[in-house]
């Protein structure tokens, strides 16, 4: 996926308001490139989730998933922004970017969002830009509920050459 919509969303689905179940995505790459000052939402399954994403998996073999040059990006292995339910999903995709909020599962989990029994297995690599505030193994920025999730991946800053 290499083109943003006019709404600046990128993912297998731009916006989910329904139910996505039992989806297995392998060897997908999202490259949004360019530069912009506006907000961009990027997610492997959905850029924005208002519905339910259940029992889905993202997997890739060392393929760069996000090459982000924008300055205000919300990026997650499953969903960029979540205001719905993400249940029993896993991410095994290398996420690389310069972003304001990156998570192995969700970039931003809003107050109505629920992330339950999800697992991140792969590396999240940030190349600077405010990484201490909003780059995490499961959820970059959380205002909702997170239940029984686990991160096995490392969070790494390429600029300083160490884990964060």
- The Cα 69–Cα 34 span in angstroms is 6
What mean pLDDT do residues 144-159 have? 87
The contacts of residue 6 (CB under 8 Å, 6+ apart) are: none
Q: For the whole model, what pTM was predicted?
A: 0.87
Res 93 pLDDT > 50: yes
Closest CA to 74 of 148, 139, 17: 139
Closest CA to 19 of 110, 104, 85: 85
- The Cα 133–Cα 92 span in angstroms is 23
What end-to-end distance do the CA atoms of the chain give, in Å? 29
| 153 vs 117, higher pLDDT | 117
What mean pLDDT do residues 127-151 have? 81
In the sheet where 90-92 sits, what is the strand order?
A: 24-26, 57-59, 90-92, 119-120, 150-151
Closest CA to 1 of 67, 52, 81, 79: 67
Res 65 pLDDT > 50: no
Res 31 pLDDT > 80: no
Least confident of 73-77, 84-88, 148-152: 73-77
Q: What pLDDT sits at residue 64?
A: 47
Q: What pLDDT sits at residue 59?
A: 87
Band of the pLDDT at 62, cuts 50, 70, 90?
Answer: very low
Res 134 pLDDT > 80: no
Partnered with residue 117 across adjacent β-strands are: none
């Amino acid at each position: 996926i290499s083109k943003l919509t006019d709404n600046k969303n990128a993912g297998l689905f731009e916006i989910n308001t329904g139910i996505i179940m039992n989806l297995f995505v392998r060897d997908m790459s999202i490259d949004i490139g360019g530069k912009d000052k506006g907000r961009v939402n990027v997610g492997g399954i959905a850029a924005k989730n208002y519905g339910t994403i259940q029992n889905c998996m993202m997997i890739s073999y060392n393929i760069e998933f996000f090459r982000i040059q924008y300055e205000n990006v919300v990026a997650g292995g499953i969903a960029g922004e979540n205001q719905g339910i993400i249940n029993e999903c896993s991410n095994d995709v290398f996420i690389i970017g310069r972003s304001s909020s990156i998570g192995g599962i969700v970039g931003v989990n809003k107050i109505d969002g629920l992330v339950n029994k999800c697992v991140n297995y792969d590396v999240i690599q940030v190349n600077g830009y405010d990484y201490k505030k909003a780059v995490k193994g499961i959820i970059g920025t959380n205002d909702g509920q997170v239940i029984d999730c686990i991160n096995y991946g490392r969070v790494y800053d390429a600029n300083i050459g160490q884990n964060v």
